[in-house]
Amino acid sequence: MPRSTASAAAAGEGESATPALPTLATMSDDGGTPAHLAPTGDPLLAAKFSVPSVPRNAIRRQRLLDRLTEGTAGPLTLITGPAGAGKTTLAASWARGGSAPGPVAWLTAEPDDRAPGVFWAYVLEALNHHQVALPDEVGQPGAADRVDHSLLTRLASALAQLRRPVVLVIDGLEHVPVRAVTSDLDFVLNHAGPQLRLVLVSRVDPLLPLHRYRADGRMREIRGPDLAFTRQEAARLLRGHGLGGYEESVDALLARTEGWAAGLRLCALEMQRADDPAEFARSFAASQSALADYLLTEVFAAQPAATQELLMRGSILDRVHPDLANVLTGCEDAEWILAELTRAHLFVEPIDGTPWCRYQPLFSEVLRMHLRHHRPGLEPRLRRRAATWLADTGRLAEGMEQAAAAPDWEWACTRMVSRLEIGRLLTGPEAPRLERVFAGMPGDLPGVAPALVAAACALARYDTANCRARLDRAEDELRRPGAGPAPEARFALALLRLLAGPPPAQDGDRVCRAAESAAQQSRELADQLPRPLTEAHQEIEALRQYGLACGLQLGGRPDEAMRAFDHTVEGCTAEVTGTVREGSLGRLALMESERGELSRAEKHALLALELAGDRSAPPTRRSGISHLALAAVALERGELRAARRRVDLAAASPDAGHDPVTDCEIAVARSRLDLAHGRWQAALAALKGDTGPLAPGPARRLAVARSAAQLARGDPASAIAALAECGGGTARTLALAQARLAAGDLDQALGLLAPLDRRPDAGTAEQIRIRLLQSHAAALAQDTETACRRLHDALAAARPERIRRPFTEAGPWVGHLLEQRPDLATGHAWLLDRPARVNSRPRPDGGDRPPAPVMVEALTDREREVLQHGAELLSTEEIAEAMYLSVNTVKTHLRSIYRKLTVSRRGDAVRRARELHLL
């Protein structure tokens, strides 16, 4: 039969038999429905049994309702989250939605319900209120401070005997943090069988053995992150508030509130009242909105004084560590307070696997506003304390961010210089973040340290001119009377001078001597600093070695530069030297490609790109050097499309337009690509670029490329003139020999080659070009045997690395020579253009002599069409008219066809194309 207090009192057993128990109902104030009494004698408030109403414009969140329905198929469902997360609204929407497996009994717990007897009296009355038929024998609690175990046993037994399940929702369980109550709940739930489905709604995890329920698969959880609004739900919420035209503001609101339900709803209400709702969503001030009032009254003001102090002081941080919180508050209880805050989901979340915590961004902003209003002047001092602690514990970027927010630029810059941390602006995982911090520093700050830090930031942006100007200012500051020795500042100045490189208008020897002198000076100054300090910064020596190697490269000493880059790579073993290692590998790869060591160059360039990816280097910190090295490798192998793609990637890199080596190699690669397509005018134009003074190394590379373009134009005199003022070096000598040979000066050309031919350390590319030039000279002298032998030597040297470019650029004579010696063509089939391998088939005429190899890319569709018309004996003008092209365009196509087929006449081109089955 249904339980009633009168029948329970008449039963004369259990706790209800206690004479002191007020079992008769008192009348309500209006004389209406009787209100049952709690063990304390107070009436049980009927409002606590009502399922809360759902706001009219509440968003139906079906994904969560479905999870709640799924959860109530088992014994326990837990809904936890911070205030305003939408826990109660979700549970109420579900309870009213008719998806429950049986009747839903609702109880809203409050702080006055802490006493076990009071709590269980409310539970029993909630079941009774929602028409859950329990027998009279269950009884009632007899005292406020305890509940007899037999009552719980009778309750569990009665629930187990129900015909269908009952769902008991207890909302606000955080108000009853009594272990005795939760222990009794656990007992009833475990012994009521499958008929009791418990839904607990709380800001904190209840003191139940949740681990056991999880392990047994008997609990479903809906946590704070689950309750966060999705983008679609937030958009629907705005539409529900008549803000359908402002859905572009959703992302801004979500970023600020992190999907917090109350925050979004309050924002929507504020947007309704705002003159410009979109602008409010982007930049609304928390101090001017209802959000601040909600968080301060509902969350902050409800905390003890010590907790409030920690929350307010810790709000200056993106994340807070217990030790750092103790530093900010001057207390030693931060670890316990933070643990309580995270357990209570009070907008403070633990960062998994660490002792750190983070504030919800909006909550943090409100607290900072509160700090500034109630403790003016305290925030800068707190940020300075935080900056010192963070920097001292290895979190330099975070520390500098706090110093910048203070703002205390003098302290930040002095710290960077005095602790030898200035190198962290140039290399290491924190470098981009540090550079962004100091990008906001005023440019007119006096003193040595700000000038040095500004110089390092400029260098990080590849702005060497600004870097040198800042270094000059720092040097002037150091020379002032009374400036003091400042060994750390002098060391930083020397290191940055080395890395910035010398002014470009100097000869090669002077550039190299300047780099060697700067490297030596920085080494001597480092030796004067405390050894523990220098040993703690492995990036210092790596940067010094890298600066020296770059200076040798700019000075035009490639062999020494390669050894220096190789040595730098070997020394970069720490994470903080990752940027230096990447840059050294890229530059090493570039120089290896110039020597013809293509496999090593490709390996090192790919490794450099992999390192950049592994350390998640931002695009603003990714050099184009590695892409240029791969472009050079592709060019040497005749892979023109791959080369073009790599050059385009390099041109989009941040050092393009700023670094002389990068700019030089982009121009050289583009010029070579144009030459490969027969466009000598474009090849020359690609080499013009900036007319300013260049360092010797880049100047020599451009001069050699310019000479090659002039030769392709058919102008040996201009090719020789292009090499007149670019200094010495093997590459320049080889280019000059080739130009002399083209001019008909065989003796001078061979005289230039003779010293190079005896070099024991000549690179692969050098050997190939020497042999090719000797072969060409012999061919011009009608010494076919020597020409073929030298050509064989060149091909043998090129074969291991599949180097094709020297042969394609040499001219038609190579093809003619190969036709005379079919054994050479057969033995070096790798030289064939891969798309045109059809020429390895038997000849249509049945001859045994294999055709000459094709040494560049296949013909384009337009070139095939031009050649087809040529085979039909049309004139150039007739081809132009038939294809609706200009005569000059047809001539350009014909030149490209001749080059690709290694011929010099149209008839030969048609014959060769037929041999290759291209027509």
Topology of domain 5-227, CATH: Rossmann fold (3.40.50)
How would CATH label the architecture of 861-915? Orthogonal Bundle (1.10)
**Start-to-end Cα distance in the chain:** 101
Please state, in angstroms and as integers, the Cα–Cα distance from residue 691 to each residue in 584, 664, 673, 918, following that order. Answer: 28, 12, 22, 44
pLDDT at 479: 86
Please state, in angstroms and as integers, the Cα–Cα distance from residue 873 to each residue in 543, 554, 897, 905, following that order. Answer: 65, 54, 16, 13
Residue 367 token pair: 């607290």
Assign 735 to helix, strand or coil: helix
pLDDT at 273: 75
- Which of 685, 718, 722, 683 lies closest to 704 in space, CA to CA? 722
Q: CA-CA distance, 201 to 213, in Å (whole number)?
A: 16
Q: CA-CA distance, 451 to 434, in Å (whole number)?
A: 16
Q: CA-CA distance, 704 to 720, in Å (whole number)?
A: 10
Going 487 to 489 to 494 to 496, the CA torsion angle's sign is positive
Residue 148 DSSP code: -
Which ranges of the chain have pLDDT less than 50? 1-35, 286-287, 833-856
Helix (H) or strand (E) holding 767: helix 764-780
Identify whether the C-beta of residue 228 lies closer than 8 Å to the C-beta of residue 362. no
Compute the CA torsion angle 800, 806, 809, 814 (nearest 10 deg).
-70
pLDDT at 546: 95
Q: What is the largest CA-CA distance in the chain?
A: 133
**Edge-to-edge strands, sheet with 76-80:** 104-108, 166-171, 196-202, 76-80, 219-222
Assign 442 to helix, strand or coil: coil
860 Cβ neighbours under 8 A, 6+ residues apart: none
Residue 727 token pair: 């200094």
pLDDT at 542: 94
CA 348 to chain centre: 26
- CA angle, corner 669, sides to 709 and 762, nearest 5? 85
Report the b/e string of 265-292 with b at 16+ CB within 10 A. bbbbebbeebeebeebbeebebeebbbb
Q: CA-CA distance, 817 to 822, in Å (whole number)?
A: 9
Please state, in angstroms and as integers, the Cα–Cα distance from residue 352 to each residue in 429, 430, 574, 794, following that order. Answer: 21, 22, 26, 62
Identify whether the C-beta of residue 49 lies closer than 8 Å to the C-beta of residue 171. no
Assign 336 to helix, strand or coil: helix
**Edge-to-edge strands, sheet with 319-320:** 319-320, 357-359, 348-350
Residue 632 DSSP code: H
Q: CA-CA distance, 706 to 683, in Å (whole number)?
A: 8
Q: CA-CA distance, 772 to 790, in Å (whole number)?
A: 7
pLDDT at 480: 83
824 Cβ neighbours under 8 A, 6+ residues apart: 788, 791, 792, 795, 817, 818
Residue 154 DSSP code: H
- CA angle, corner 808, sides to 802 and 812, nearest 5? 140
Assign 198 to helix, strand or coil: strand
Q: Give the model confidence (pLDDT) of 92-112 as tens digits.
A: 999 998 889 999 999 999 888
Identify whether the C-beta of residue 864 lies closer than 8 Å to the C-beta of residue 900. no
Q: Give the model confidence (pLDDT) of 420-446 as tens digits.
A: 999 999 998 899 999 999 999 998 899
Residues forming beta bridges with residue 358, ordered by sequence position: 319, 349
Identify whether the C-beta of residue 765 lies closer than 8 Å to the C-beta of residue 592. no
709 Cβ neighbours under 8 A, 6+ residues apart: 671, 674, 675, 680, 683, 684, 687
Q: Which CATH number fits domain 285-377: 3.30.310, 1.10.10, 3.40.50, 1.10.3470?
A: 1.10.10
Residue 304 token pair: 């003890």
CA 743 to chain centre: 55
Assign 32 to helix, strand or coil: coil
pLDDT at 298: 81
Assign 114 to helix, strand or coil: coil
Assign 21 to helix, strand or coil: coil
